[in-house]
Amino acid sequence: MPAPQTSESVTKPVPTPAALFLGFSRVGLSGFGGVLPWARRLLVETEGWLSAEEFNVLLGLCQFLPGPNVVNLAVAVGVRFCGWRGAVAGAVGLMLGPFLVALVLGVLYGLYGELPAVQSMLHGITLVGAGLIIAMGIRMGLNVKNRLIYLPFAAAAFVAIALLNWPLPAVMLGGAALTIAMSWWRLSQEAKACRS
C-alpha cells in the first residue's frame, strides 16, 4: 500500500543525468526477458535513489499508461531528479545499448538469415519466446484483482484478437470503455458502502 510523503532518510543520494544514463545503461543491457526487476534492483537496492514505496508509485504511473513500461519508468525517474535532461538521459541510457545490439543482430540476420541452421535455431527460440510471453500473460492474470469479475474480459479480448482476428486498436479502445466504466461504477458503489 503506497503511503506517499513518508519521511525519507535525510542523506538520500540524488543522481545526476550522467549517473542516470550509466545506471539505466546497465539495466538495459542486463535485462534478458524482462527489464523491470533489474530497474528495481538499480533504483531501490544498488543506488538507493528511490525507496520501495516511491518505486511502486512511479511504477504505477508507468503501468497506468500504455507503451513500453520500462522506458516510461526511465523517463519518470529521470524527470523526477533532473527534469527533461534526466528524462532523456534515463531513456537514452536504457535504450542505446540494446538498440545497438539489436542493430548488429539485425545485420547478422540480413547476412545469414537464409541459412537453414540459423532458421531452425530461430524457430526454436520463437517457441521459447512465445512461451515466455504466455507465462508473462498468466502472471499478469494472476495479479488482476477481483478475478471472477475481470478475467472474463481478458478471455473476451483474447478471443477477439487471437481467434476472430478483430483489429487490436478497436478491441482495446472499445473494451477499455466498457471495463473502465464498470470499474468506475464498482468503485463508486464501494465508496458509497464505506460512507453509509
Partner 1 sequence: MPILIELFVSFFLVAFVSFGGASAVIPELYRIAVTEHAWMDARTFTELFAIAQAAPGPNVLIVTLIGQHVDGWLGAFLATLGMCLPMSLLVGLLFKHWDKLQHWRGRAAIQLGVAPLAVGLVLASGTLIAHSAAPSLIGVLLLVLTVVINLRTKLHPLWLILLGGVLGLSGLV
Q: Give the footprint of partner 1 on residues 4-33 (CB under 8 A).
A: 4, 28-33
Residues of span 113-172 touching partner 1 by CB under 8 A: 113, 117, 119-141, 143-146, 150-151, 153-158, 160-162, 167-169, 171-172
Interatomic CA distance for residues 61 and 126, integer angstroms: 31
Three-point CA angle 84, 69, 19, nearest 5°: 45
* Distances, alpha carbon 5 to alpha carbons 51, 159, 168, in Å: 11, 43, 39
Q: Are 89 and 105 in contact (CB under 8 A)?
A: no
Tell me: does residue 37 bind partner 1 (CB under 8 A). Answer: no
Task: Work out how close the CB of 39 gets to partner 1 at its nearest, in angstroms, rounded to a whole number.
Answer: 10
Tell me: does residue 189 bind partner 1 (CB under 8 A). Answer: no
Task: Work out how close the CB of 59 gets to partner 1 at its nearest, in angstroms, rounded to a whole number.
Answer: 11
Task: Work out how close the CB of 6 gets to partner 1 at its nearest, in angstroms, rounded to a whole number.
Answer: 13
4 or 11: whose CB is closer to partner 1? 4
Tell me: does residue 191 bind partner 1 (CB under 8 A). Answer: yes
* Distances, alpha carbon 124 to alpha carbons 19, 101, 118, in Å: 38, 21, 10
CB atoms within 10 A of CB 91: 24
Tell me: does residue 112 bind partner 1 (CB under 8 A). Answer: no
Interatomic CA distance for residues 171 and 166, integer angstroms: 7
Task: Work out how close the CB of 36 gets to partner 1 at its nearest, in angstroms, rounded to a whole number.
Answer: 9
Pick from 44, 51, 53, 69: which binds partner 1 (CB under 8 A)? 69
**HSE-CB of 192 using CA atoms within 13 angstroms:** 6
Tell me: does residue 34 bind partner 1 (CB under 8 A). Answer: yes
DSSP reduced 3-state for 68: coil
Q: Whose CA is closest to 52, among 17, 8, 114? A: 8
* Number of shown-chain residues binding partner 1 (CB under 8 A): 104
19 or 160: whose CB is closer to partner 1? 160
Pick from 67, 193, 194, 196: which binds partner 1 (CB under 8 A)? 67
Task: Work out how close the CB of 46 gets to partner 1 at its nearest, in angstroms, rounded to a whole number.
Answer: 18
